[in-house]
Amino acid sequence: MGAGRLSTLTIEFTERLQKCYSGAVFDVMREFGHRECVLPSEIRPLDDSLVLAGEIWTCSGRIDESISDDESLLQWTGLLSKAPDNSVIVCQPNDSTIAHMGELSAETLKYRGIRGYIVDGGTRDSTFIRNLEWPLFFRYFSPKDVVGRWTVESTGEPIEIGGVRISTGDYAIADIDGVVIIPMNMIEKVLDRTEEVMSTENELRSMILQGMDPQEAYKKYRLF
């Protein structure tokens, strides 16, 4: 399969996933025996009206008190430059003291076509980022930034957040309810089944609104 075909598949999967919601995707993952796919509930959206879906590109870092202001910014801007177009960046900063996203970085990533950012860490300049209507999922707020404090350790390598292993090429769907990670080798069957479930849910909802008993509805459709 050529690179062009892979790119076409990625776009197709992303467009289909964007039309789903995290609860339905989790139900399907559970059905497939893959329950450990949800990031910690403390990771929340900055704007809970936005849905983020797409192929993941990973990065990680750590606190480094010895790094200079210049070197930390060179590393950070290098990370921004490497992020692939149309990807969802997922970051494990291994830190809970500073912000790992700010307004200028968010604006840069949005301009470059990055779909959104999920971080097991902090953010700042939050009003500006919210006004960008660019999806950001994070743990906490802080005015402190990465300058002279944080170093990039890896890009594109596997990371772990809350016991969930995440690799570049996996997929994420994130909305008001949380973040679900879908391994790359499961994405097509998860999408097929999720779309089927959502269609059945619509039919079930219609029957409930027409007066069908909820238990009878469950027996008929085997979901609720």
Residue 192 has pLDDT above 50, yes or no: yes
Task: Please state, in angstroms and rounded to a whole number, the distance separating the CA atoms of residues 216 and 64.
Answer: 60
Q: Which helix (H) or strand (E) holds 53?
A: strand 52-63
Residue 12 has pLDDT above 90, yes or no: yes
Give the 3-state secondary structure of residue 218.
helix
Q: What is the CATH number of the domain that holds 114?
A: 3.50.30.40
Give residue 165's pLDDT band: very low, low, confident or very high (50, 70, 90). Answer: very high
pLDDT in tens, 30-72: 999 999 999 999 999 999 999 999 999 999 999 999 999 999 9
Residue 4 has pLDDT above 70, yes or no: no
| Share above pLDDT 90 across residues of the chain, in percent, rounded to a whole number | 85
Q: Is residue 84 part of a domain?
A: yes
Q: Is residue 146 part of a domain?
A: yes
Give residue 221's pLDDT band: very low, low, confident or very high (50, 70, 90). Answer: low
Task: Please state, in angstroms and rounded to a whole number, the distance separating the CA atoms of residues 205 and 38.
Answer: 26
Q: Is residue 22 part of a domain?
A: yes
Q: Under 8 Å CB-to-CB from 161, ≥6 apart: which residues?
A: 39, 40, 43, 90, 92, 120
- Whole-number pLDDT of residue 206: 73
User: How many domains does the chain fold into?
Assistant: 1
Q: Is residue 138 part of a domain?
A: yes
**Angle subtended by helix axes 3-18 and 187-209, to nearest 10:** 20
Q: Is residue 211 part of a domain?
A: no
Distances (CA, A) of 109 to 8, 31, 82, 129: 22, 35, 10, 11
Residue 191 has pLDDT above 90, yes or no: yes
- Whole-number pLDDT of residue 209: 80
* Domain extent at residue 166: 3-183
pLDDT in tens, 64-106: 999 999 999 999 999 999 999 999 999 999 999 999 999 999 9
Q: Is residue 144 part of a domain?
A: yes
Global pTM?
A: 0.91
| Mean pLDDT of the region 166-171 | 98
The rounded mean pLDDT for the chain is 93
Per 3-state DSSP, what percentage of the chain is helix, strand, and coil (rounded to 5)? 40, 25, 35
- Whole-number pLDDT of residue 220: 76
Q: Is residue 169 part of a domain?
A: yes
| Mean pLDDT of the region 187-194 | 98
Task: Please state, in angstroms and rounded to a whole number, the distance separating the CA atoms of residues 118 and 116.
Answer: 7
Q: Is residue 165 part of a domain?
A: yes
Q: In the 8-state DSSP scheme, what is residue 86?
A: T
